[in-house]
A and B are shown apart, each in its own frame.
Chain A
Amino acid sequence: MSSDSSSTSGDEFTNPNPNPNSTSKPLEDQFASAALTEPDNEPPEIQESPNGVVNGSVSENNHGEIERNERGGAVGSNLEARQSVRWRRTNSEVEVEAPSSPSSSGYAGERGSSSGSGSSGGFEMIGGGIGGDDDEIQEVSNVDSIQDSQASWMPGKRHVDEDDASLSWRKRKKHFFILSNSGKPIYSRYGDEHKLAGFSATLQAIISFVENGGDRVKLVRAGNHQVVFLVKGPIYLVCISCTEEPYESLRGQLELIYGQMLLILTKSVNRCFEKNPKFDMTPLLGGTDVVFSSLIHSFSWNPATFLHAYTCLPLAYATRQAAGAILQDVADSGVLFAILMCKHKVISLVGAQKASLHPDDMLLLANFVMSSESFRTSESFSPICLPRYNPMAFLYAYVHYLDVDTYLMLLTTSSDAFYHLKDCRIRIEMVLLKSNVLSEVQRSMLDGGMHVEDLPTDPLPRSGTLSPHLGQPRDSPESFREPFVGIGGPAGLWHFMYRSIFLDQYVSSEFSPPINSPRKQKRLYRAYQNLYASMHDKGIGPHKTQFRRDENYVLLCWVTQDFELYAAFDPLADKAVAIKTCNRVCQWVKDVENEIFLLGASPFSW
């Protein structure tokens, strides 16, 4: 977006009917596929077809490019390098833009996905869809699915044809905006940023009006809507939501979005605004919509986004030890962090010397990698910034998928370590294969984690083996999966989350009936968010215990110096029995902590 496009989009702002050309899907699909077959157009985010199938392949010239540009290693030049890397993405944007379509190539893929989910009623509308529930995403077709809620989610930005004049846009349940302090749009969850220039200017005006009065606006409430503001230097972030999430949660989400932006650009982007207040940042983020939309989606299913902890894939202690050992080996050879993950769960991670990784950084990094299709297709070497580690500097991430869900990330400060890291990866992969870690990982994925139905009635004997499955013997994974129908745990226990404060890790039970649809899962997730915010009040918290009963649940929360427990029960559950059950859950977690947590990792001293 050029600097003068904001002024022209002022006209579009009042025009309820966007350019009809821009909505012509086949044309865009053509462009999309054209872009995909172009070997030069390497941006990973673009190479995603509507149905999520990977069309492109990322060549190593990604790595070559960075090497060429960033030999200096200074932060500023890193940013320029990023700019030049991104330029190649926006390059195609210009090409696409020429033939009368305003869509960038970055949008092309997303538009594809929007045609996939489309206006078939899947999107969130207040009072629309099924009973006006707070579901945002395509619940209609998935209400009865027992899949994880994230399984049904389609990546990428949707509804780009909307703007603030559209009724459908106004009725979206949760908007996110990033804008510059001069009012230029940088990102909008829904609608085309270019067309939202006028709206963006309004947001900027509100923030600066209050600022001129010597204050800083945090929240505006109107009916069921909340408008949450976060100012980060020259970057303004705004959330407009009617999802009933507490202010603290929404603010935390804006912090994460800002962190995600830093992960892509580093904080040195501020300098661009110092030099030129009207600086247009959108080209720098070109094609990263999918990263943000995936992060935003995780706000409605991933407890890590508010617990500020990470979760591990359940594995036998020995298996995780084996994985940790080889990662440690590599870390000793100049790798800053070596992280082995399966989806959003950690298998093992190792930090060099005293380096420690903040759970939020892990969340943002994993989101960045998982949402970018290109990482899946071949090994990649990409500059990234860990905002909690050092918001000013780029690190370099070598990323390689070992199988469809399992990926290895090796982080280094050196921009020319690609070949070294590649060698490391080969070594790691060999060891993991030999020691059966990867097959154990797949097995664990199939088995799932802790099921409330398996809550032991009596405390387990501390000695003796706990496997095969988290202390509860099972015949075999196969025979268990097929006939298994969850019935909820004892005493009406439906679900729990346990966060170890010392480890910075949490474990969450698998969803069982009646929490079996994405919609119900999201509702429970929101209830946990509220409970978390209520317990962790900034002024007077944290509280010690909370019992909360409404028409949906009995919720119990217990915060100690060592752990936090959140448990959800049937709303008719007996209080006394529920409390006993919580004690048993805590005992159970302690009994199997070797398998569900990564122990003995370097301390996360934050």
Chain B
Amino acid sequence: MGMSAATTAAEGIKFCIFDLRRGQQEGQELDKILFFFPADLPFSAQLSVIGLSEGLITFTRIFSPEAACEVIEAERHSHVFYEAEPDIWMVMVVEKNESEAIWRIDALRKVLKEVHSLFLMFHGSIRTMIEKEPAGGLIRSHLYPFIMDYLSACQKRSLLDNCCWDFLLGKKLQLPSFRDCLKERGTVQMLTVSREAAIEVQSLVRVLESFAGNTQFYSLILFQDLLVSTTLSPVDTINLFTYAVLRLTPRALSSGVSSWSYLRKGSTTSNVATGSILAQSASVSEQNFRSRDTSPPGGDNSHHIARPLQPDRWSKGKDGFLVTDIWGAEASSSTSATPTIWLQQTEERVYVCAYQYRSLTLILLVPVASILGEQGVSAVKQQILENASLKMLKIEEKLSKGWAGENAYHVSGYRYLLVDGDRDVSRASPPGKVTTLTKESLLALSKVREEVDLEKGRMEHDNAGQEKDLEVCIRAKNNAWVIARITKGKELYMVLEKANETVLYASDAVEKFSNRYCNGAFSLD
């Protein structure tokens, strides 16, 4: 639904990662490129994208040394910049057109941020990997499949999903457009639980913590695609939540199967794992990388690389634990087959144990340093089965009873997005309801969000320390009310169609909503 499509074949989108510390010598410019999509673009064209980006980064630093180029708006394209790590830049070039490809820059930048955050979680920083193998083969061979998997995360998401999309559908690359203006990437969607259920969840969390003994385990609990509980830091919560919704929740596991079988039917390629076009371009790219790679392992190092975002590699075992062979590929290199990730907050490597009971998914994170390899992991799993599974069953029952389905958070008459910036939590009208809005209303809201993004950016750059307080209420040409409210780190966006024409009506509507659903956060008095 509702996302804009750009045909990759018609070079509708370009996506690159480059390192400004590399390839400074003339003739070695290619060395800068760590990733480029589409990979079959001639090098001259790749270098042209990177040359322009680098030129503008340098140019803008003349005037704005602390914040270099963020976006280039040209008539036909937008170039979105993100400095993921010092001197490591991600640039996405999207084509514009009149009908659907109308982008909100901040939403696109959040895609870049997300893919980088996920990369950090699984592989650590790009810079570290470059330093490990300065020729660049290692980082390239990691980035390429990772980002292609991210872009191709090929399951069609359900209507319930608010936040995570898959970008490559067939030949079309799906990016967040104006139609997604009532969504916020990089936030977590929470389940509202009753007090009774909350107590049960707390007790489960305590049980899980008790497994750790002297060390500390972390846990994340989801119901459907909504977060119930976390003991992780906000940044790690967002990353793991994003991953879980993409790959681990019951919906992710099941929808993968169905959409995948459909794709298989249409595809004659023997490469089942990746999907047709991507597989082809991936191999093209690997050849490219090899041709310029002088590092010895060049040829077959791709076999050792875990591809955590690869679709349909997770399944639910009979014991309730989610299993995958993604990390198993590394077994030969004597590492564990149990998935591991990096926590940004504590900079420790942890095992990921995911256990699922019906709609309830538990992710327990066990520091690698605290237990003895696979044996330790099995011991922890045993403890979950013995001490936690019954509690989970009860909790699942309770939550399912109270769960109103995918339209649970629909508020009749309103189409809204509520973002709590301090907690990185968002809640929004169900996507199925948002699609009832006219294109004009969505465009108007997208524009207002762009204005708000700019204002927020200014606040950040100015380091003013004061919190933005803003109220915008627009009666659009199609008579819809388009509303943005920013106050005390919270943001509320709203579209009211078929509403009365006075401003007072609109602000009453906000007031009611605020009192009822936001504890009065946006109420005036």
Contact = CB atoms under 8 A, between A and B. Distances in A.
| Residue among A209, A240, A544, A547 with max Cβ neighbours from chain B (10 Å) | A547
Contact of A548 (B60, B457, B472): B472
Contacts of B449: none
Given A210-B74, A221-B71, A579-B503, A540 B440 contact: yes
Nearest to A213: B48
A571 to B, nearest CB: 9
Interface string B441-466: 00110011001000001100110001
B524 to A, nearest CB: 8
A96 interface: no
B42 to A, nearest CB: 13
A413 B506 CA distance: 55
Given A215-B76, A546-B475, A547-B474, 5 more contacts: A222-B64, A223-B457, A225-B63, A540-B476, A546-B474
A549 B76 CA distance: 34
Given A222-B64, A223-B66, A545 B55 contact: no
A-B residue pairs, 3 tightest by C-beta? A223-B67, A222-B60, A545-B475
22 contacts: A206-B59, A216-B74, A220-B56, A220-B59, A220-B71, A223-B70, A224-B457, A240-B63, A534-B474, A535-B474, A539-B102, A541-B477, A544-B476, A544-B479, A545-B474, A546-B474, A548-B472, A549-B471, A551-B469, A556-B503, A575-B503, A575-B504
Interface string A195-229: 00000001001100110011111111111110100
Nearest to A542: B477
B113 interface: no
A544 B476 CA distance: 6
Interface of A: 132, 164, 170, 202, 205-206, 209-210, 213-225, 227, 240, 242, 244, 247, 530, 534-535, 537, 539-551, 556, 575-576, 579
Given A217-B72, A537-B447, A540-B440, A222 B55 contact: no
Nearest to B466: A551
Contact of B63 (A132, A210, A222): A222
A224 B477 contact: no
A206 B506 CA distance: 45
A76 to B, nearest CB: 32
B263 interface: no
Nearest to A555: B472
B41 interface: no
Contacts of B471: 547-550
Given A545-B475, A548-B473, A217 B74 contact: yes
Contacts of A534: 447-448, 451, 472, 474
A544 to B, nearest CB: 4
B73 interface: yes
A143 to B, nearest CB: 20
Contacts of B504: 575-576, 579
A575 B505 CA distance: 11
Contact of A222 (B52, B69, B462, B479): B69
Nearest to B63: A225
A215 B458 contact: no
A202 B67 CA distance: 20
A202 B473 contact: no
B476 A220 contact: no
Given A210-B74, A215-B75, A224-B64, A540 B503 contact: no
Contact of B64 (A223, A244, A543, A548): A223
B3 to A, nearest CB: 19
B77 interface: yes
A340 B435 CA distance: 56
Nearest to A210: B74
A547 B70 contact: no
Nearest to A546: B474
Contacts of B385: none
| Residue among A205, A575, A579 with max Cβ neighbours from chain B (10 Å) | A575
B77 A209 contact: no
A460 B466 CA distance: 44
